[in-house]
Protein backbone atom coordinates (compact mmCIF):
# COMPACT_ATOMS: atom_id res chain seq x y z
CA UNK A 1 0.00 0.00 0.00
CA UNK A 2 1.22 3.52 -0.82
CA UNK A 3 1.75 5.86 2.11
CA UNK A 4 1.85 9.60 2.75
CA UNK A 5 4.08 10.95 5.51
CA UNK A 6 1.87 13.33 7.51
CA UNK A 7 3.65 15.89 9.67
CA UNK A 8 2.58 18.52 12.16
CA UNK A 9 3.78 20.00 15.43
CA UNK A 10 1.77 19.48 18.58
CA UNK A 11 2.28 22.03 21.33
CA UNK A 12 1.18 22.76 24.87
CA UNK A 13 -1.62 25.29 25.08
CA UNK A 14 -4.96 26.06 26.68
CA UNK A 15 -7.30 23.17 27.48
CA UNK A 16 -9.50 23.78 24.45
CA UNK A 17 -6.50 23.85 22.09
CA UNK A 18 -5.16 20.64 23.63
CA UNK A 19 -8.56 18.97 23.15
CA UNK A 20 -8.63 19.87 19.46
CA UNK A 21 -5.06 18.65 19.01
CA UNK A 22 -5.99 15.35 20.65
CA UNK A 23 -8.88 14.97 18.20
CA UNK A 24 -6.42 15.50 15.36
CA UNK A 25 -3.97 12.97 16.83
CA UNK A 26 -6.73 10.39 17.32
CA UNK A 27 -7.74 10.77 13.68
CA UNK A 28 -4.13 10.39 12.53
CA UNK A 29 -3.54 7.03 14.14
CA UNK A 30 -6.71 5.61 12.57
CA UNK A 31 -5.76 6.52 8.98
CA UNK A 32 -4.79 3.92 6.40
CA UNK A 33 -2.02 4.88 4.01
CA UNK A 34 -0.56 7.48 6.37
CA UNK A 35 2.57 7.62 8.52
CA UNK A 36 2.07 10.40 11.11
CA UNK A 37 4.99 12.29 12.68
CA UNK A 38 5.20 15.07 15.24
CA UNK A 39 8.04 17.53 14.53
CA UNK A 40 9.78 18.88 17.63
CA UNK A 41 13.06 20.63 18.42
CA UNK A 42 16.30 18.74 18.87
CA UNK A 43 17.38 17.83 22.42
CA UNK A 44 19.36 20.67 23.93
CA UNK A 45 17.48 23.37 22.02
CA UNK A 46 15.88 24.48 25.26
CA UNK A 47 12.29 23.84 24.15
CA UNK A 48 9.84 21.44 25.78
CA UNK A 49 8.90 18.43 23.67
CA UNK A 50 5.16 17.85 23.33
CA UNK A 51 4.38 14.25 22.43
CA UNK A 52 1.19 12.41 21.48
CA UNK A 53 0.67 8.67 22.02
CA UNK A 54 0.65 6.75 18.75
CA UNK A 55 2.34 9.54 16.78
CA UNK A 56 6.07 9.23 16.16
CA UNK A 57 8.10 12.20 17.41
CA UNK A 58 10.90 13.50 15.17
CA UNK A 59 13.01 15.85 17.31
CA UNK A 60 15.02 17.41 14.48
CA UNK A 61 14.20 21.14 14.36
CA UNK A 62 16.85 23.75 15.17
CA UNK A 63 15.40 27.08 14.01
CA UNK A 64 12.73 29.09 15.79
CA UNK A 65 10.78 32.29 15.27
CA UNK A 66 12.80 34.42 17.67
CA UNK A 67 16.15 33.70 16.03
CA UNK A 68 14.86 34.05 12.48
CA UNK A 69 12.76 37.19 12.96
CA UNK A 70 14.92 39.02 15.52
CA UNK A 71 11.71 39.73 17.48
CA UNK A 72 10.74 38.56 20.97
CA UNK A 73 7.80 36.20 21.36
CA UNK A 74 6.81 32.57 21.71
CA UNK A 75 9.00 29.91 20.14
CA UNK A 76 7.47 28.72 16.88
CA UNK A 77 8.88 26.57 14.08
CA UNK A 78 9.97 27.73 10.64
CA UNK A 79 7.92 26.26 7.81
CA UNK A 80 10.66 25.40 5.26
CA UNK A 81 12.73 23.69 7.96
CA UNK A 82 9.70 21.55 8.81
CA UNK A 83 9.22 20.69 5.14
CA UNK A 84 12.91 19.84 4.77
CA UNK A 85 12.63 17.47 7.73
CA UNK A 86 9.56 15.81 6.28
CA UNK A 87 11.16 15.48 2.83
CA UNK A 88 14.19 13.79 4.41
CA UNK A 89 11.99 11.46 6.46
CA UNK A 90 9.87 10.57 3.43
CA UNK A 91 12.96 9.81 1.32
CA UNK A 92 14.41 7.65 4.10
CA UNK A 93 11.21 5.58 4.11
CA UNK A 94 10.95 5.37 0.33
CA UNK A 95 7.79 7.52 0.21
CA UNK A 96 6.94 9.88 -2.64
CA UNK A 97 4.64 12.27 -0.77
CA UNK A 98 4.72 14.17 2.49
CA UNK A 99 2.32 16.74 3.93
CA UNK A 100 2.37 19.44 6.61
CA UNK A 101 -0.82 20.44 8.41
CA UNK A 102 -1.88 22.54 11.38
CA UNK A 103 -1.97 20.63 14.66
CA UNK A 104 -5.74 20.95 15.21
CA UNK A 105 -6.73 19.76 11.73
CA UNK A 106 -8.44 16.40 11.34
CA UNK A 107 -7.09 14.72 8.20
CA UNK A 108 -9.48 12.26 6.58
CA UNK A 109 -8.97 9.21 4.38
CA UNK A 110 -10.32 11.25 1.48
CA UNK A 111 -7.33 13.60 1.74
CA UNK A 112 -4.90 10.67 1.67
CA UNK A 113 -6.70 9.10 -1.28
CA UNK A 114 -6.68 12.44 -3.10
CA UNK A 115 -2.91 12.73 -2.78
CA UNK A 116 -2.10 9.12 -3.64
CA UNK A 117 -4.45 8.87 -6.61
CA UNK A 118 -4.03 12.32 -8.12
CA UNK A 119 -0.50 12.04 -9.49
CA UNK A 120 0.17 15.75 -8.88
CA UNK A 121 3.44 17.26 -7.67
CA UNK A 122 1.76 19.44 -5.03
CA UNK A 123 -1.57 19.69 -3.21
CA UNK A 124 -3.06 22.48 -1.11
CA UNK A 125 -6.13 21.75 1.04
CA UNK A 126 -8.69 24.18 2.43
CA UNK A 127 -10.51 23.07 5.55
CA UNK A 128 -14.16 22.31 6.23
CA UNK A 129 -15.23 24.02 9.45
CA UNK A 130 -17.44 22.13 11.90
CA UNK A 131 -19.39 23.27 14.93
CA UNK A 132 -18.96 21.59 18.32
CA UNK A 133 -21.56 18.97 17.42
CA UNK A 134 -19.60 18.01 14.29
CA UNK A 135 -22.01 19.66 11.82
CA UNK A 136 -20.42 21.20 8.73
CA UNK A 137 -20.70 24.99 8.65
CA UNK A 138 -18.74 25.77 5.52
CA UNK A 139 -15.40 25.68 3.73
CA UNK A 140 -12.71 28.25 4.48
CA UNK A 141 -11.68 29.49 1.05
CA UNK A 142 -9.36 32.29 2.14
CA UNK A 143 -6.67 30.04 3.58
CA UNK A 144 -4.89 26.69 3.35
CA UNK A 145 -4.43 24.26 6.26
CA UNK A 146 -2.51 21.38 4.67
CA UNK A 147 0.25 21.41 2.06
CA UNK A 148 1.43 18.18 0.38
CA UNK A 149 4.46 17.68 -1.85
CA UNK A 150 6.23 15.19 -4.01
CA UNK A 151 9.55 15.04 -2.13
CA UNK A 152 11.62 15.30 -5.31
CA UNK A 153 9.68 18.41 -6.40
CA UNK A 154 10.24 20.04 -3.00
CA UNK A 155 13.98 19.53 -3.19
CA UNK A 156 14.16 21.01 -6.69
CA UNK A 157 12.13 24.06 -5.70
CA UNK A 158 13.21 24.55 -2.09
CA UNK A 159 14.99 27.85 -2.83
CA UNK A 160 11.72 29.51 -3.87
CA UNK A 161 10.32 29.41 -0.31
CA UNK A 162 11.20 32.00 2.32
CA UNK A 163 11.53 31.17 6.06
CA UNK A 164 7.97 31.96 7.16
CA UNK A 165 6.88 31.20 10.72
CA UNK A 166 4.23 28.55 11.33
CA UNK A 167 1.05 29.83 12.95
CA UNK A 168 1.44 33.38 11.64
CA UNK A 169 -0.33 34.90 8.60
CA UNK A 170 0.36 34.72 4.88
CA UNK A 171 2.69 31.73 4.53
CA UNK A 172 -0.03 29.28 3.51
CA UNK A 173 -1.34 31.30 0.57
CA UNK A 174 2.12 32.43 -0.59
CA UNK A 175 3.38 28.84 -0.53
CA UNK A 176 0.28 27.73 -2.44
CA UNK A 177 0.83 30.37 -5.13
CA UNK A 178 4.47 29.32 -5.53
CA UNK A 179 3.42 25.68 -5.77
CA UNK A 180 0.81 26.43 -8.41
CA UNK A 181 3.11 28.66 -10.50
CA UNK A 182 6.08 26.31 -10.60
CA UNK A 183 4.65 22.81 -10.61
CA UNK A 184 1.78 20.54 -11.53
CA UNK A 185 -0.40 21.25 -8.53
CA UNK A 186 -4.00 21.52 -7.41
CA UNK A 187 -5.94 23.35 -4.70
CA UNK A 188 -8.52 21.09 -3.05
CA UNK A 189 -11.26 23.44 -1.84
CA UNK A 190 -14.58 21.85 -2.79
CA UNK A 191 -14.98 18.62 -0.83
CA UNK A 192 -13.68 19.29 2.67
CA UNK A 193 -11.03 16.56 2.80
CA UNK A 194 -9.64 18.07 6.00
CA UNK A 195 -11.77 19.17 8.96
CA UNK A 196 -11.48 21.77 11.70
CA UNK A 197 -13.63 22.56 14.73
CA UNK A 198 -14.53 26.24 14.52
CA UNK A 199 -13.36 28.43 17.41
CA UNK A 200 -12.70 32.12 18.05
CA UNK A 201 -9.61 33.37 16.28
CA UNK A 202 -6.79 34.42 18.57
CA UNK A 203 -4.86 37.60 17.81
CA UNK A 204 -1.75 37.02 15.77
CA UNK A 205 1.46 36.78 17.76
CA UNK A 206 4.45 39.06 17.97
CA UNK A 207 5.92 37.48 14.84
CA UNK A 208 3.07 38.43 12.51
CA UNK A 209 5.07 41.47 11.39
CA UNK A 210 7.85 39.18 10.19
CA UNK A 211 5.51 37.09 8.04
CA UNK A 212 3.92 40.27 6.69
CA UNK A 213 7.42 41.49 5.81
CA UNK A 214 8.17 38.26 3.92
CA UNK A 215 4.81 38.52 2.16
CA UNK A 216 5.85 41.99 0.94
CA UNK A 217 8.99 40.40 -0.52
CA UNK A 218 6.73 37.76 -2.10
CA UNK A 219 4.10 40.29 -3.21
CA UNK A 220 3.90 39.02 -6.83
CA UNK A 221 2.84 35.58 -5.55
CA UNK A 222 0.57 37.01 -2.85
CA UNK A 223 -1.18 39.17 -5.44
CA UNK A 224 -1.84 36.13 -7.63
CA UNK A 225 -3.48 34.41 -4.67
CA UNK A 226 -5.69 37.42 -3.86
CA UNK A 227 -6.90 37.66 -7.45
CA UNK A 228 -7.60 33.92 -7.54
CA UNK A 229 -9.46 33.97 -4.23
CA UNK A 230 -11.63 36.92 -5.30
CA UNK A 231 -12.50 35.24 -8.60
CA UNK A 232 -13.19 31.93 -6.83
CA UNK A 233 -15.60 33.49 -4.35
CA UNK A 234 -17.52 35.12 -7.21
CA UNK A 235 -17.52 31.86 -9.18
CA UNK A 236 -18.76 29.88 -6.20
CA UNK A 237 -21.61 32.36 -5.64
CA UNK A 238 -22.88 31.91 -9.18
CA UNK A 239 -22.65 28.12 -8.90
CA UNK A 240 -19.66 27.48 -11.15
CA UNK A 241 -18.93 23.87 -11.99
CA UNK A 242 -15.82 22.02 -10.89
CA UNK A 243 -14.53 22.18 -14.47
CA UNK A 244 -14.94 25.97 -14.49
CA UNK A 245 -13.07 26.26 -11.21
CA UNK A 246 -10.26 24.06 -12.52
CA UNK A 247 -9.96 26.39 -15.52
CA UNK A 248 -9.86 29.38 -13.15
CA UNK A 249 -7.04 27.71 -11.24
CA UNK A 250 -4.99 27.20 -14.41
CA UNK A 251 -5.57 30.77 -15.58
CA UNK A 252 -4.84 32.41 -12.21
CA UNK A 253 -1.38 31.08 -11.44
CA UNK A 254 0.81 31.96 -14.40
CA UNK A 255 4.30 33.24 -13.63
CA UNK A 256 5.21 35.85 -16.27
CA UNK A 257 7.17 38.66 -14.58
CA UNK A 258 8.12 41.58 -16.78
CA UNK A 259 11.24 43.72 -16.50
CA UNK A 260 9.16 46.73 -15.47
CA UNK A 261 7.35 44.75 -12.80
CA UNK A 262 10.63 43.32 -11.51
CA UNK A 263 12.15 46.80 -11.18
CA UNK A 264 9.09 48.15 -9.40
CA UNK A 265 9.07 45.15 -7.05
CA UNK A 266 12.77 45.64 -6.26
CA UNK A 267 11.94 49.11 -4.96
CA UNK A 268 9.08 47.71 -2.90
CA UNK A 269 11.43 45.10 -1.39
CA UNK A 270 13.95 47.78 -0.45
CA UNK A 271 11.24 49.74 1.37
CA UNK A 272 9.99 46.61 3.12
CA UNK A 273 13.48 45.72 4.34
CA UNK A 274 14.05 49.26 5.67
CA UNK A 275 10.73 49.29 7.51
CA UNK A 276 11.30 45.86 9.00
CA UNK A 277 14.78 46.76 10.26
CA UNK A 278 13.23 49.77 12.01
CA UNK A 279 10.51 47.53 13.50
CA UNK A 280 13.08 45.09 14.92
CA UNK A 281 15.24 47.90 16.29
CA UNK A 282 12.30 49.48 18.12
CA UNK A 283 11.06 46.12 19.42
CA UNK A 284 14.46 45.15 20.80
CA UNK A 285 14.93 48.61 22.34
CA UNK A 286 11.50 48.40 23.95
CA UNK A 287 12.24 44.98 25.41
CA UNK A 288 15.56 46.18 26.81
CA UNK A 289 13.84 49.15 28.48
CA UNK A 290 11.41 46.93 30.41
- Determine what percent of the chain is predicted with pLDDT higher than 70: 98
Which band of pLDDT confidence, cut at 50, 70 and 90, is reported for residue 20? very high
173-227 pLDDT, tens digit per residue, is 999 999 999 999 999 999 999 999 998 877 777 799 999 999 999 999 999 999 9
C-alpha distances out from residue 194 to 105, 143, 201, Å: 7, 13, 18
Residue ranges per structural domain of the chain: 4-256
pTM of the model: 0.96
Output the pLDDT for position 290: 65
Is residue 78 exposed (0-12), middle (13-18) or buried (19+ Cβ within 10 Å)?
buried
CATH number of 4-256: 3.90.550
Give the CA dihedral 230, 188, 149, 17, nearest 10 degrees. 90
**Residue 229 pLDDT greater than 80, yes or no:** yes
* Nearest CA among 161, 159, 155, 190 for reference residue 174: 161
Tell me which H or E stretch contains 215. Answer: helix 208-217
50-55 long-range Cβ contacts below 8 angstroms, 24+ apart: 50/9, 50/10, 50/11, 50/12, 51/10, 52/10, 52/21, 52/22, 52/25, 53/25, 54/25, 54/28, 54/29, 55/10, 55/25, 55/28, 55/29
Which band of pLDDT confidence, cut at 50, 70 and 90, is reported for residue 46? low
143-157 pLDDT, tens digit per residue, is 999 999 999 999 999
Output the pLDDT for position 9: 97
CB 127 within 8 A of CB 196: yes
Amino acid sequence: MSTVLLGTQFYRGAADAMRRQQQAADALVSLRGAAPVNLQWRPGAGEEVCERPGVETLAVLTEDARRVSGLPGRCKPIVPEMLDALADAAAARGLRYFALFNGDIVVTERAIDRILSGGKQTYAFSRMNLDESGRSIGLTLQGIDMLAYDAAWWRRNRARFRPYILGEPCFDVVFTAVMMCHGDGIICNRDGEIRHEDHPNHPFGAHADYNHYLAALDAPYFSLWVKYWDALVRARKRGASEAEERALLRESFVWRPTVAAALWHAGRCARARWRYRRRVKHAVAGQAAR
